[in-house]
Amino acid sequence: MARRMRENLPFVHLVPNLITILGLCCGLTAMRLTFDGLYIYAAALIVFAAAIDGLDGLVARRLRATSEMGAELDSLSDFVCFGVAPALLTYRFALFPDQGLGWVLALTFAICCCLRLARFNTMRDQPDAPRHFLGVPAPAGAGLGLLPVFATFAGLVNFREMPLMVGLWLGFVGFLMISRIPTPSAKGLKIARDKARFLLIGVAICVGLMVTRFWLFMTLVCLIYLAVVLFQAVRHRRF
């Protein structure tokens, strides 16, 4: 039995990293699809990468396979999936006619994501780390940055005709990522038992909307999250 455990241990340690690499492949493929003009599929891959983000860490903790290499690999994957890929997608989708300012703002978004991840890495090992993130996390920042793309796919507004507004929005989201706005982490969220039924109803509504009108669902999710972030900023009076 002990021999079998020793033989299975290397693969167990690889499982979290394989999940991280899967997300990284989604981000890289999204960039290729962006250059091919397949924007809907590129956006869908970024959303999928965000959906499985954090799964690698959860699996690593459950299997007791956490490692420094895994943590660094996760951070690098986040930068590609939620920094570089959304910036390129937004640039090609709506900012390409204005190559000057549009590209600068796309770079700003990607750099802010990199700085956000670097700050998170330095705070990760602190014993007194706060229960809240400082600044919008990278996956949420990618969603907010792609909000004009989602709204265009949903048929609400054609942001491809408003490159300046999209570029300024991308820069604003980059600012939110490096700001000091406290945003709740998964560990800091607690749901009371008497609210569980309402949560289930909300989940059912979200699933139905996600199946029938996916891009409208993503637009609403981003808008609700943005409202929460701005409320936190006003409440704590800091950016």
The number of folded domains in the chain is 1
For residue 63, tell me if it sits in a domain.
yes
For residue 110, tell me if it sits in a domain.
yes
- Tokens standing for 136? 């919008």
pLDDT in tens, 17-34: 888 899 999 999 999 999
For residue 44, tell me if it sits in a domain.
yes
For residue 2, tell me if it sits in a domain.
no
Q: Residue 208 sits in a domain of what CATH number?
A: 1.20.120.1760
pLDDT in tens, 147-157: 999 999 999 99
For residue 160, tell me if it sits in a domain.
yes
For residue 45, tell me if it sits in a domain.
yes
Domain range for 200: 10-184+194-236
Q: What are the Cα distances from residue 234, in Å, to 147, 230, 238, 239?
A: 22, 6, 7, 9
pLDDT in tens, 80-139: 999 999 999 999 999 887 667 889 999 999 999 999 998 888 876 665 555 566 789 999
For residue 1, tell me if it sits in a domain.
no
For residue 5, tell me if it sits in a domain.
no
Cα 14 to Cα 8: distance, rounded to the nearest angstrom: 10
Q: Is the pLDDT of residue 145 over 70?
A: yes
Threshold 0.95, pTM exceeds: no
- Tokens standing for 113? 């994501």
